Amino acid sequence: MGNNGERKMGLQKVIFLIFVFFISACQDKGQVDLKKMEKKYMSLREKMVLEQIERRGVKDKNVLEAMKKVPRHLFVPEEYLNEAYEDYPLPIGEGQTISQPYIVAKMTELLEVKKGEKVLEIGTGSGYQAAILAEIGAKVYTIEILPKLAEKAKKTLSNLGYENVTVLVGDGFKGYIQEAPYDKIIVTAAPEKIPEPLIEQLKIGGKLVIPVGKYDQELKLVSKREEGVVVESVLPVRFVPMVGEVEK
């Protein structure tokens, strides 16, 4: 091989090394950007918990910790990424919404969920409420009537490693008898009155939180006791309506 050939080989090596250097620099930069973004979202979550949730009186440490941990921005559509930690509900497609952070926290606190408890949720939506329950250590069964939303929520939850959540497609009006009775039940779509099967599928000593009403809705806390069922009104709320069998 002559001088020319050797020079050509040398040049190729240099180009190759520059290429490798460039690619690894890009990867490092990507990781730095990702870490920066994660830090940004973490501080937005802390601000959300302090200003929207603790200031309004939610005290349960487990709830506050879970709300600081679960990456809410991964449960909203990309076009709402910048609003993920704001003080209002957001559209998640199919005419449905992810609830306002304060309402998620308040409902979770009312349930007094403990580690290892079995919880049924009606209205999976984005899967965010289910993730909060799972983060506290509950075993969650969540039912969504719209298959597209159920599919998406299932993916989000499994990408984040929430193995103790089972997403089911169906009408939650009848509950989910296969796993009943439940320690706690949470409903995140509003029927005009409390579906009887949900009270039946609650353990004695169990609690149910549910928005009830058409336009003027009330959040109700239902406690099932030996002596009977006690229903308390907690606060006025605005949820999407429960659809399906309940409308008949």
- Give catalytic residue positions: 99
Looking at beta carbons only, is 54 or 171 nearer to ligand SAH?
171
**Torsion over CA: 135, 223, 243, 86 (sign):** negative
Alpha-carbon Rg for the chain in angstroms:
24
- Closest distance of CB 242 from ligand SAH, Å: 4
Among residues 113 and 149, whose Cβ is nearest to ligand SAH?
149
Report the length, in residues, of the chain.
248
Question: Smaller CB distance to ligand SAH: residue 28 or 122?
Answer: 122
Residue 98: CB minimum distance to ligand SAH, A: 4
CB 69 within 8 A of CB 133: no
CB of 21 to ligand SAH, least distance (A): 44
| 44 vs 240, beta carbon nearer ligand SAH | 240
Taking the C-alpha atoms of residue 174 and residue 238, their distance in angstroms, rounded to an integer, is 22
For residues 225 and 204, the answer to whether their CB atoms sit within 8 Å is: yes
CA-CA distances (angstroms) from residue 158 to 29, 47, 167, 226? 27, 27, 10, 38
Nearest C-alpha neighbor of 243 from the set 209, 177, 195:
195
The nearest distance, CB 110 to ligand SAH, in angstroms, is 15
Contact footprint for ligand SAH (CB under 6 A): 96-99, 122-123, 125-126, 128-129, 143-146, 149, 171-173, 188-189, 240, 242-244
Shortest CB 181 distance to ligand SAH, Å: 19
Q: Which is nearer to ligand SAH, 61 or 248 (CB)?
A: 248
Chain mean position to CA 203: 24
Q: Which residues contact 239 (CB under 8 A, 6 or more apart)?
A: 99, 188, 189, 190, 211, 217
Q: Which amino acid is at 153?
A: A
